Amino acid sequence: MHELGVVFYVVRDVKKVAEENNVKKVSAVTLEIGEVTGIIHDYLIDCWNWARKKEQVMEEAELKIEQIDAVTFCEDCEQEYPTVTYGKTCPNCGSEHTYLRRGNEFLIKEIEVSDS
């Protein structure tokens, strides 16, 4: 389960940002996760709920997840298409000269802080 390792990195980075900005309480963290990262959202949330309780600044922080849909680009017909539906083969021209344009990202988008 690599979700736990990912959560450790997110907690570390959020804690560092909180310290640098004199934040006492983080209320929520929003992640952007690509559709083809292989990360299982339910596992990630379970790991988050366990790990956040270990850090006082984050012990009540909610995890919000925004999915980035996977999109592939075809170099032959120069069209984009949904990766998960069609895979590596372009549905427009049948070419396999394609590459993933987006959908493999994992980003901390936003850190919300509490006023109290």
- Residues annotated within a binding site for Ni(2+): 2
**Which residues are part of a known binding site for Zn(2+)?**
74, 77, 90, 93
Question: In whole angstroms, how far apart are CA 56 and each of 7, 16, 95?
Answer: 16, 13, 52
DSSP state of 103: S
**Which residues are part of a known binding site?**
2, 74, 77, 90, 93
